[in-house]
Amino acid sequence: MAALNYASYTRNAAEPLKRIAHSRRYEQLLRLIAAPLPGDRVLDYGCGDGHLFLHLVGNVPSDRLVGYDPNAELLAQADPAVVTGSSLTTDINRLKAERRRSFSLIYCVEVCEHLTDKALDELFENITELAAPFARIIIGVPIETGPSGFLKAIYRTAHGHRQAASFTKAVRALFGLPIPRNETDLEWYGDHTGFDHVRLREKLRDRGLLVKRSVCLPFPLFGQALNNEIYFTCSKRVPGRL
């Protein structure tokens, strides 16, 4: 994906369905899930080209915005309005050393579904270390099981079996059955097929993150059945509390 312009792959994609799904994400994220409060220090973990910050510039002081992504090519695609004032980095170790327990609002969107268990453990460790004691942590991932996962798999199958989709996998997704996944890079899955947000929620709990609220988008009232994404609003678990 690094060789492809991130915007053309997501919010400016040629396919209408893909373009619509991505173009509304940030607006709804800020309006329905979590918008920065006065005084928040904001981290976008896995920020890509930093597009989320374009929705915050003018409302949040730029020196309170930090974006981290390990892919320098994606960060290089950031809009100048994002780069000016805010901080974008690929250096997670330096970020943890300088900003430990600093961020009161952390977004992590379109990241976890690509990570192996080992990489997820590292991500949760990093986020927990960077989060302030009472931080809001927003984890957003696609819904790839149930009716939504089935329809996605059928669509991908009809369009050249993209993302390793097949009719058999579509049926398995419908019933929430495990689907083997192949790594396309080190600790990285390129495809969404086989991702299970229910299992991710369990891992959040096991790694000390308390899910306080979940919302499905783009149509919150429809729940998980006919939505594209689910967002978990989390906090760090307080020792001694369930």
pLDDT in tens, 105-117: 999 999 999 999 9
**pLDDT at position 35, please?**
95
Q: 66 and 131 in contact (C-beta within 8 Å)?
A: no
* Mean pLDDT estimate for the chain: 90
Q: Token pair 């096991």 is at which residue?
A: 206
Q: How many CB atoms lie within 10 A of CB 184?
A: 12
pLDDT at 241 over 80: no
**pLDDT at position 2, please?**
41
The fold of the 6-144+195-236 domain, in CATH, is Rossmann fold (3.40.50)
The CA-based angle 51-56-59, given to 5 degrees, is: 165
Q: What is the pLDDT of residues 124-147, one digit of tens each?
A: 999 999 999 999 999 999 999 999
pLDDT at 195 over 50: yes
The more confident residue out of 132 and 5 is 132
Contacts of 217 by beta carbon, 8 Å cutoff, 6+ apart: 24, 25, 28, 29, 32, 33, 227, 228, 229, 230, 231
The more confident residue out of 8 and 134 is 134
CA quadruple 107, 112, 115, 121: dihedral positive or negative?
Answer: positive
- As a whole number, mean pLDDT of residues 184-204 equals 95
**pLDDT at position 137, please?**
98
pLDDT at 1 over 50: no
Q: 201 and 234 in contact (C-beta within 8 Å)?
A: no
Burial of 7 (0-12, 13-18, 19+ CB in 10 A): middle
pLDDT at 97 over 50: yes
- As a whole number, mean pLDDT of residues 145-170 equals 95
Q: 210 and 242 in contact (C-beta within 8 Å)?
A: no
pLDDT at 185 over 70: yes
pLDDT at 240 over 60: no
Q: Token pair 């918008």 is at which residue?
A: 35
Two tokens, residue 33: 């899930």
Q: What is the pLDDT of residues 15-73, one digit of tens each?
A: 655 656 666 888 999 999 999 999 999 999 999 999 899 889 888 898 899 999 999 99
In the chain, where the domains are located? 6-144+195-236, 146-190
